[in-house]
Amino acid sequence: MTHQALWSGGFKEPLSEIALTFSSSIDLDKQLFREDIAGSIAHVEMLAATHILAATEARKIRTALKQIQKEIETGKFQLTGEFEDVHLAIEQRLIQKIGPLGGKLHTARSRNDQVALDERLYLRSAIRDLSKLIVHLQRVLLFKAEKYFGELMPGYTHLQRAQPVMLSHHLLAYVWMLERDHERLQDCLKRLNKSPLGAAALAGTSFPIDRLRVAKKLHFDSIVENSIDAVSDRDYLVEFVAACSTIIMHLSRLAEELVLWSSKEFGFVRISDAYTTGSSIMPQKKNPDMAELVRGKSGRVYGALVNLLTIMKALPLAYNRDMQEDKQPMFEAVRTTQQCLSICSQMLVHTAFDRHRLEDELRNDFLTATEIADYLVRKGVPFREAHAITGKIVSYCIDHRMYLGNLDLDILHTFSKAFGPEIFDYILPQRSVEQKKSAGSTSPHDVKRQIIHWTRVLKGRRG
């Protein structure tokens, strides 16, 4: 070991190189250096305020910590594998700079409450960044919904064509999903934004510290009230990654639809060349690789969630070294979710819908069969009977290689005398959506109401 561990006073032998390499977390937790230094500055200022340290001592430590941050940012001080973790690396550098005084920084705290603080600060920032990315994607979807307002598309259940819907309505469904994702992050923040610092290793400290002062300095809402709970749980991290998993699930569904819709079989969209790739052997190919990667990267975030749950499963209170392994899934979930939200926004901006293809597909199918059944119900036919009659009409059309628009009144009368000439208005796709009356439906009136709602909401939201 190049540096003697700060905890090694009672040890007769230094940690072996292989054990240091195995147990070192600095390759990951060095990303938390800003959070670690911010927490240390707040801590040392509190130690001065409570007269545990002299004001002059606190000023020297604070100044040196700020210098160390600049050294790390400029590369002058490298956080390398010779250090056990980011906390000890910064503290050792502090002692190098100002001597034994630097060792006073760790008064009334432990790495246990220190790392819990760093993670909460990091996740608070991650929630802010992810929330902005969600809002941006919502705005892109809203823009597309406004641009294509009035355009219809086949709606699907079981990946089988079902009924005509407004394209805007389909796109706005994702806006609502993302809104719940946004709400989950904000709700997670309520439980996350509490300071664990001052819990020390698990039992608190005999020094007269002011935990609330530190919490206020770091913009926490309050403190974690139980010192054992403060250092021994990572439920805030599990909850955060669970929220990321739901976000990535929604993005994966959107990505899958873009993959399907960009295929020749669907032909609903054209994704810009800037967000597709070619084949190394087939010159004609244009692959929706960005959408496929979003779909594939969902496994990383799901894996992070299972990883965290497995780490925490059956751990006795309080802190256990197993919990060091929480950094990898935390960083993975944040990085992957950020990347996928960003690429989805950019890809959608550069995606165009083929209006003519959508119109053709609406005409050449049986998407308004439900309207025939509803028409018969209005004529007094029980719904189950109307359903059966309509099913027979569809079978007739399939057998005779025709669609609903090819039917005439004489043919319809062979199935039911309840049909009148006005039935042909009901089987038009545009009339189908216009007939919808229920709140939240695909009717132009309701879709317009949703667009107005989201225009107002997103206009006043940061992101």
Q: Which residues form the catalytic set?
A: 158, 279
Choose among 213, 383, 241, 210: nearest CA to 303.
241
Tokens of 126: 């991650």
| DSSP for 207-258, written as a single string | S---HHHHHHHTT-SEE-S-HHHHHH--HHHHHHHHHHHHHHHHHHHHHHHH
223, 224, 294 from 239: Cα distances, Å: 18, 16, 22
Nearest to 135 by CA among 278, 310, 391, 342: 342
Q: Which two tokens stand for residue 279?
A: 């084949």
User: Which position has the token pair 């189908």?
Assistant: 432
- The per-residue DSSP string of 50-67 comes to TTSS-HHHHHHHHHHHHH
Structure tokens at 15: 């940690």
Kindly give the pairing relationship between strand 222-223 and strand 194-195: parallel
| Displacement of CA 452 from its chain's centroid (Å) | 25
Q: Is 3 exposed, middle or buried, given 0-12, 13-18 or 19+ CB atoms closer than 10 A? A: middle
